Amino acid sequence: METSRRTVIAAAAAAGITAATAGTSHATSPGGKPGGKPVKELFGKLADGTKVHRWSLANGGTRLKVLSYGGIVQSLELPDSRGRYRNVSLGFDNLDDYVASSPYFGALIGRFGNRMAQGRFDLDGKTYQLSVNDGENSLHGGAKGFDKRVWDVEGFTSGSDVGLVLHYTSGDGEMGYPGTLKTKVTYTLTRDGDWRIDYAATTDKATVVNLTNHVYWNLAGEGSGSVYDHELQIGASRYTPVDKGLIPTGELAKVSGTPFDFRRPKTPGEDIREAHQQLLHGQGFDHNWVLDKGATARPEHVATLRDPASGRALKVATTEPGLQFYSGNFLDGTLVGTGGHIYRQGDAMCLETQHFPDSPNQPSFPSTVLRPGQTYRSTTVHSFSAR
Ligand code: GLA
């Protein structure tokens, strides 16, 4: 933990800031004591009567609320340098809005993060047709991906860690994907307040897998306006340009001399309005960065996001070779978020750790094939600080 982080937590404790006084409109739930066992409550019911629960956990100054529906991070609260908490993740205060119209707010994404061209791929001589839900393409696992499934969730404490284990078994052929995929995702809050995600999956037939999480970050607090003035750094010298449908062309283009160069911290706002063809395709940034570190056995630092006004910062470390930076381009003022404010274009950004989009159709990209007997593993760690 950084010294500043300790100071902040101490300041928050001294100021008597608790879940009830944190200044967020939805902070009425049991909360989950720092370092204590996660607390479960009913959040709502689906149309068929299935109960959806919300789990609250806290550790090291970070407070997290997670739904059994989609493994959704419904709220992630962080202190600023003076100990003032804000929910820094876009979402809703009720289940119906998540079911009706969520653009993947905070959700677990599977079986395949991002796009698959024409919702189709070949594997071992067979062609698989997937659920198509984004023009002619398949996006984030199809019409009913992992973000819309009810997961089995259990809370745990282990040493100084607090967390949740989420299980979902996706049947052979679900959304067109071959193989029964048994998926286990662990959300851990460490004593330092880091939020760690460990993904694991096994299959009984050869298939493809690419899991991620779709938190929309606004480090000033959800509903507080644009993130174009956040500072972003991404450790990538290349990115994967896309066509009009946001499918990678297969090229690994250099970021140097383009708006895509985030090797040194800069704000997305600096050149998001540049007339670059790729920014037109994405209506902003909506691309996969080819991380210089490549795929690694252990999570390595790949990106830092900082809000200069509040001082809140996020560091992302991952085992994955790619990072989708999406600048909230499709938020269009039609959704009312958790705190009662309307979300508009650029009001948050996603940093989705992943294998590259459309990998099964792109022989030069790192493979996303999973075979029986193998275990898919991926880890991403989010570390927070404030100064
Ligand atoms: C991802 C995609 C975007 C968009 C969002 C959800 O980040 O890359 O194009 O579909 O999810 O709105």
Interval 31-53: pLDDT, tens: 678 889 999 999 999 999 999 99
Q: What is the pLDDT of residue 31?
A: 61
Determine if ligand 1 sits within 6 Å of the CB of residue 139.
yes
Determine if ligand 1 sits within 6 Å of the CB of residue 326.
yes
pLDDT in tens, 339-358: 999 999 999 999 999 999 99
Going along the chain from its start, the domains and CATH numbers come out as 5-230+265-275+324-386 (2.70.98.10)
Determine if ligand 1 sits within 6 Å of the CB of residue 188.
no
Q: Which atom of ligand 1 is nearest to the CA of 326?
A: 7
Determine if ligand 1 sits within 6 Å of the CB of residue 324.
yes
Low-confidence ranges of the chain (pLDDT < 70): 1-31
Q: What is the pLDDT of residue 24?
A: 38
Most ligand 1 atoms within 8 A of CB, residue of 98, 133, 139 to mutate: 139
Q: What is the pLDDT of residue 5?
A: 52
Q: Which atom of ligand 1 is nearest to the CA of 286?
A: 8
Q: Record the pTM.
A: 0.93
Determine if ligand 1 sits within 6 Å of the CB of residue 249.
no
Q: Which atom of ligand 1 is nearest to the CA of 282?
A: 9
- Residue 50 CA to ligand 1 center (angstroms) comes to 28
Catalytic residues: 214, 352
- Residue 241 CA to ligand 1 center (angstroms) comes to 15
Most ligand 1 atoms within 8 A of CB, residue of 286, 324, 331 to mutate: 286
pLDDT in tens, 279-332: 999 999 999 999 999 999 999 999 999 999 999 999 999 999 999 999 999 999
Q: What is the 3-state secondary structure (H, E, C) of the chain?
A: CCHHHHHHHHHHHHCCCCHHHCCCCCCCCCCCCECCCCEEEEEEECCCCCEEEEEEEEECCEEEEEECECCCEEEEEEECCCCCEEECECCCCCHHHHHHHCCCCCEEECCECCEEHHHEEEECCEEEECCCCECCEEECCCCCCHHHCECEEEEEEECCEEEEEEEEEECCCHHHCCCCEEEEEEEEECCCCCEEEEEEEEECCCEECECEEECEECCCCCCCCCCCCCEEEECCCEEECECCCCCECCCCEECCCCCCCCCCCECHHHCCCCCCHHHHHHCCCEEEEECCCCCCCCCEEEEEEECCCCCEEEEEEECCCEEEEECCCCCCCCEECCCCCEECCCCCEEEEEECCCCHHHCCCCCCCEECCCCCEEEEEEEEEEEC
Determine if ligand 1 sits within 6 Å of the CB of residue 286.
yes
- Residue 326 CA to ligand 1 center (angstroms) comes to 7
Determine if ligand 1 sits within 6 Å of the CB of residue 138.
no
